[in-house]
Amino acid sequence: MNIQDRQIWLFKEARSGSEWLWKTLESRFQKKCYSVDPTIFANKNPIQYESVFDDNINELSNTNVFYATHYFPLLCEMKKLDNPYLIRSTRRNKAEHCMSLLYFKMFSHSFHHAYVDPMEDTRHTYFLKTLENPVVVLKQEVLKELKKIQRYDSLWREYSKDYDNCVIVYEDLDNGVNLPLLEDSLKFSDNETFVKKTPYYKDKFFINYEQVIEWCKYYEKELGLDTF
């Protein structure tokens, strides 16, 4: 079965390059990306996912688009599709991922990504201003974010094994990632989209940067996180 006949779902971990990824895959798959989070599953509790999925099964099994979601509990609904292909975006470096998530939580309503658009210079100026007031991260905050990743790992292990699947790791996109559905690899430098990497900021923004790294290393082992 070729790519045009597959029901493709992209499960996106926040701050894993997924914004760049879905836009790149639109071009490579020659299918539009259908983000189900702000539409079908907006403001829904996870206990409602099953009935909502059932009520919208025709809209969620269209092979003319591919689907993208941050909601990993939807993995258990994939059994209702004919021949799904599952893709996950993640990061190998848990300290980098954790700090990116924490920074995003603080500025989620005002700074999302380094977009390439007429507002690019203004966005960059605002980004630099966010670094003027560095913060101390608490150990509990680190643990909370890594437990979310642990939950993603658990759901992925349990449900993805029954289907064709692929994990795209952020750190590997510099050199290129081979996706079985595509002939050529996915690579940051080969695919320019409307979003680009944010300049490195974590050692400037997090006062206890080195301590956060050590906590992440400890919890990565303690929680048994997948490193791919």
pLDDT digits (tens, 9 = 90+) for 141-176: 999 999 999 999 999 999 999 999 999 999 999 999
The model's pTM is 0.92
pLDDT for the residue 31: 96
pLDDT digits (tens, 9 = 90+) for 85-94: 999 999 999 9
On the CB side of 176, how many CA atoms lie within 13 Å of its CA? 7
Contacts by residues 175-179 (CB-CB < 8 Å, ≥ 24 positions apart): 179/87
Q: Please check the confidence at residue 115 and state whether its pLDDT lies above 60.
A: no
The amino acid present at 13, given as its one-letter code, is E
User: What are the beta bridge partners of residue 10?
Assistant: 68, 87
Q: Highest mean pLDDT: which of 100-104, 105-109, 120-124, 127-131?
A: 100-104
The secondary structure of the chain in percent helix, strand, coil, rounded to multiples of 5, reads: 45, 15, 40
Of 67-71, 79-83, 115-119, 124-128, give the lowest mean pLDDT range.
Answer: 115-119
User: What are the beta bridge partners of residue 196?
Assistant: 114
Sheet of strand 32-35: strand arrangement = 32-35, 65-69, 7-12, 84-90, 164-169
Q: What is the share, in percent, of the chain residues with pLDDT greater than 70?
A: 92
